[in-house]
Amino acid sequence: MNNPLMKIFSGILALLTTAHILPAANIPNSRYAGKLDPRPVKLPKRYAGRPGEMRGVWIATVSNLDYPRPSNSTEYKKMIRNMFRRLKEHNFNAVFFQVRPTNDAFYPSKLNPWSRYLSGSEGRPLPGEKNFDPLRFMIDEAHRNGLQFHAWLNPYRVIGATKMSKYQYLKTLAPNNFARRHPQLVMENKISGNQRQLVLNPGEVQVRNFVAATVMEIVRNYPVDSIHFDDYFYPDNAPGSADLAAFRRYNPRRLPLDQWRRNNVNELIKSVHSQIKTFNRQYRRNVQFGVSPFGIWRNRKNTPHGSLTAGKESYSEQFADTRSWVKNRWIDYIVPQLYWNFNHDSAAYAALTDWWCSTVRGTGVKLYIGHAAYQLGKANWSVNELYYQLLYNRSKVEVSGSIIFSYRSLAQPENQAMQSGARNMLKKFWKQ
């Protein structure tokens, strides 16, 4: 086995269907809630996998993070076949593939231009086979390999960072890009230095309708297993001036700015959920809708319902009221991004996992945990960290599986610790 990719996968996926008797022991260098509760975290005495649990991986296309841009459709097909075959061989059962990274599309769309991360030039299809549909090919290939296909969309992002002015950047987009056609609906947020990010303004009714229409174009035309949103909603710390005009125009209840912004995101989540459910009833389908948010909803110091953490909150910085989405059952599953270790000072893994378990309990909303394979090899991350996280999950009946971020960290580990950590995790889980 000389292929390094195969070595990693062989080492990474092995733990979830066979029962193991384990000694009761503390996780080394663990603290239940970091500085807020330094008690060591105990491993469960017994591990037992569960049939049907989620074993997923995110495949990120923005900036071609998880694979190089193909030169033609033949090369693309070969690449996808190899990726999905390897996932099947190592007992993954789902892929979360980014089909809308930046207000664009990895499929022929009447609403969005072809993605530059597919063809190299926004608005142009991939060279090669005439009328090639990458999304249809990927879904067919995934299902042929026994993998669920979750269509991952970023609802609002136009560009994550650019030094250009808003109008300069919009001119670089394809003529049919919604953001270029409607610059007044694009919200600008300055970030580090002279860079800025551009997003569709969540407070604009036309934007919400457009994003929902984009979702339904996929749902109606492709046999996807779910529509999957990631954690990018409002930009972190967006100033009030960024959406002042919409705030004044669409605020009949005179809500405070923060509450108004949360309501805007809520309205999109509710609308997408409602439209997918209506479609499912009409066509006897079972398309799911889920979100993978930032891992902290609110800190307990700010509300008695919050987690035992002291970090950034999705509730107040991205205006994503994720707990309400679960309690109101506006989503079918949630995948909190718990990208911290068991010893983190302010966002420790055990306390957050337990909080999310209590949040979904009794709602019928599935809980999958998002894990950060890319953190292996960084300071304070044991090579066994992901192994311990998966083991801890198995002591929680509410946890219905795991999703790994991301494919590249498994297929092309950046350091020896990442390679060893992945191997240590997978050699004992997901054997069947």
Kindly tell me the burial class for residue 410, based on how many C-beta atoms sit within 10 Å of its own C-beta (0-12, 13-18, 19 or more).
buried
Taking 70 as the threshold, does the pLDDT of residue 324 lie above it? yes
The residue ranking higher by pLDDT, 41 or 417, is 41
Domain map (residue ranges) of the chain: 4-156+211-426
Helix, strand, or coil (residue 188): strand
End-to-end CA, the chain: 20
Give the model confidence (pLDDT) of 134-164 as tens digits: 999 999 999 999 999 999 999 999 999 999 9
Least confident of 6-15, 67-76, 234-243, 295-304: 6-15
Pairing state between β 54-59 and 94-100: parallel
Average pLDDT on 378-394 reads: 89
CA distance 124 to 136: 17
Taking 50 as the threshold, does the pLDDT of residue 21 lie above it? no
Average pLDDT on 205-213 reads: 98
**Percentage of the chain lying above the pLDDT 90 cut:** 79
**DSSP element (H, E) containing 20:** strand 20-21
Question: What's the pLDDT score for residue 72?
Answer: 98
Question: What's the pLDDT score for residue 24?
Answer: 55
Taking 50 as the threshold, does the pLDDT of residue 19 lie above it? no
Pairing state between β 186-190 and 196-200: antiparallel
Fold of the 4-156+211-426 domain: TIM Barrel (3.20.20)
Question: What's the pLDDT score for residue 413?
Answer: 83
List the alpha helices (DSSP H) in 37-186.
73-89, 116-119, 134-144, 166-170, 178-181
Average pLDDT on 401-405 reads: 97
CA distance 308 to 310: 7
**pTM of the predicted model over 0.85:** yes
The residue ranking higher by pLDDT, 269 or 48, is 269
Question: What's the pLDDT score for residue 429?
Answer: 72
Question: What's the pLDDT score for residue 18?
Answer: 37
Of 28, 58, 41, which Cα lies nearest the Cα of 368? 58
